[in-house]
Amino acid sequence: MLKIKEIISEKIAEQILAINSAAEITASEISAMLEYPPDANMGDLALPCFKFSKMLRRAPVQIAQALADSVSDECIEKIENVNGYLNFRISDKYLGDKVVKNVLEAGERYGSHTFGEGKTVVLDYSSPNVAKPFHIGHLGTTVIGHSLKLLHEFVGYKCVGINYLGDWGTQFGKLIVAYKLWGDKQQIEEGGIDKLVELYVRINNAITAEENENPPKHDLANQAREEFHKMEIGDEENIALWKWFVEISLIEYQKTYKQLGIEFDSYKGESFYTDKMPAQVEKLRQSGLMKIDDGASIVDLEEYGMPPCLILKRDGSTLYPTRDIAAAVYRKETYKFDKAIYVTAAAQCLHFQQWFKVVDLMGYDWADELVHVPYGIVSLNGEKLATRTGNVILLKDLFAKAIEKVGSIIEEKSPNLENKQAVAESVGVGAIVFYYLYNNRMKDINFMLEDALSFDGNTGPYAQYTYARACSVLEKAGKYDDGKSAVITCEEESSLVKVLAKFPEKVLDAIKDYEPSVITRYIIDVATAFNRFYHNCKIMNAETEEIKNTRLMLTSAAKTVLGNAFGLICLKKEEKI
């Protein structure tokens, strides 16, 4: 539809200038005004003419009529003036001649753009805390972040995916205390991250229990702080334990990333920036931005409507803003990014606003290239998730349940399917990802397992089954002539092509709003339009060879668009399910 909008907008701009040569309006401005009517009976595109009244000194209805009488193009079948709106009906011939051909000729590049070429985007996402397992609370940053990476790659950007591991902090002091008290090396080697989590939950429960003791019997909280301090000053034993915990965690995380089809370019975590923070602290000090407040070092942001940004604690130790500033400087110097995207929970919005402003005040002229992409919280049956209490659903368990359910369906309906386990994994994991990405990213999600694993309605399995259906039709059909023009003969065909034509625009919308759900919901639109076409239009037994060829072309075009869209939201293509 982008091309059609461009054509219509240029025609409208020409006619407006013909009415008033002094009018100041561009085709791109008119294109932005074009709307999709809520009812298909009103047309395919609509243009409100009210904004032209002042420049043309006419009533909207008069303007709309004048434009309806003078604008024409091969892509336009009909124009109607309805109460000051111009309603456009797109020509089926144009859809068949141009749009279908465009989809088939572009293939895997259909829907893509080139405006990102020569530019670099750094994306910071997933970033789990080491020694803690992946649970559904980590799903948002992981799949939203990776989808944004795929979207930016699709429009030409060079993308650098960074997994900013939470591999430093007092939680390691707790884990070291727990390991020294109750840990068993062989059990951890065999049990992996699950055993580390057991230790972490146990030490937190013990510390909580001590809060009611006066004085605490063992003072485990203080022991944890001491063990972490030993890490900070390079104690060999604690550093060795820390590296071991990180290694065990990464082995587990890689299993989940493999299921999701995700690879990162960097795993540099918080610890990597320890020696890079002092330079930024000194820059803040020399610039006069940093002030002492009750012993702590801060940057006062009251002028900008924000609380102070804490840089150093009273004891001189660093905080999250210090590390984030150092990391941003390193990434700019290393990758020369044009944009740096951070995907984290909405609860961190103030944190990012603060340190983004500090970077700006420090004189870094790339501060406006920093982008925070927040998302809503995930709860489990209405309860907040917390690793320290054990109230989580692990992603591996969730994926396993989904895979098991899909496997049982495949066993029942397609017992002879090849690679049944691989297909079950693809569809099962895809069901969870699709469920999460279907809603606007800012919407809080109360994760209900039954809903996530439902395979009816607007779901990932429905979309993947639709893709497999298109593949099956094309496999049975064999050869067809995709060089011919598609001859649209019915409403179902026309509607399908119009939906397919929107894909390049949906890609732009998703990138502009950092919103993968634009693509997820569009996939359902395509699947719905294709299935309606499939059920109502004979394909293999079409009335004529010309109609059969057209319908095979439409099937191929739908398959192409679904496949391309899948590739933007971590959803795998399965040709047989």
Same domain, 75 and 207: no
Q: Are residues 358 and 268 in the same domain?
A: yes
Residues 138 and 243 grouped into a single domain: yes
Task: Name the domain boundary from 345, 363, 384.
Answer: 384
Structural domains of the chain, count: 2
Compute the distance between CA of residue 130 and CA of residue 171 in angstroms, rounded to an integer. 9
Q: Tell me the CA distances in angstroms from 409 to 32, 415, 450, 474, one per residue in order.
A: 46, 9, 16, 24
Domain that holds residue 141: 124-276+320-384
SS (H, E, C) 228-289: HHHHHCCCHHHHHHHHHHHHHHHHHHHHHHHHHCCCCCECCCHHHHHHHHHHHHHHHHHHCC
- Does 425 map to a domain? no
Integer Cα distance of 423 and 415 in angstroms = 12
- Residue 486's closest CA among 53, 22, 142, 100? 100
Whole-number pLDDT of residue 379: 74
Query: Angle, to 10 degrees, between the axis of helix 236-260 and the axis of helix 136-154?
Result: 60
Q: Which of 245-259, 330-344, 401-415, 451-465 has the highest mean pLDDT?
A: 330-344
Three-class secondary structure of residue 348 per DSSP: helix
In a domain, 247, yes or no: yes
Indicate whether 20 and 148 sit together in one domain.
Answer: no
Q: Which CATH number do you get for residue 69?
A: 3.30.1360.70
- Look at residue 388 and tell me whether its pLDDT is greater than 90: no
Inside any domain, residue 153: yes
Last residue of a domain, one of 349, 367, 384: 384
Q: How many CB atoms lie within 10 A of CB 40?
A: 13
Q: What is the pTM of this model?
A: 0.92
Q: Tell me whether residue 18 is in a domain.
A: yes
**Calpha distance 262→373 (Å, rounded):** 19
Q: Which pLDDT does position 398 carry in this prediction?
A: 87
**5: Cα separation from own chain's centroid:** 27
pLDDT band at 384 (very low <50, low <70, confident <90, very high): low
Q: Answer yes or no: is pLDDT of 65 > 90.
A: yes
CATH of the domain at 329: 3.40.50.620
- Please report, for residues 170, 258, 427, the alpha-carbon distance to residue 408 in angstroms, rounded to integers and kept in the order given: 45, 23, 12
Residue 231 domain flag: yes
Q: Quick count: other Cβ atoms within 10 Å of Cβ 316?
A: 10
Q: Is 56 found in the same domain as 130?
A: no
Q: How far is the C-alpha of 169 from the C-alpha of 352, rounded, in Å?
A: 19
Report whether pLDDT(453) > 80: no
Do 162 and 270 belong to one domain?
Answer: yes
* Predicted pLDDT at 382: 63
- Residue by residue, DSSP assigns 539-552 as STT-SSHHHHHHHH
pLDDT of residue 383: 62
CA distance 43 to 114: 30
Task: Answer yes or no: do 59 and 147 share one domain.
Answer: no
Domain annotation covers residue 456: no
Q: Same domain, yes or no, for 223 and 178?
A: yes
Q: What is the pLDDT of residues 331-342, one digit of tens each?
A: 999 999 999 999
Q: Structure tokens of 336?
A: 């020369």
**Is residue 202 one of the residues assigned to a domain?**
yes
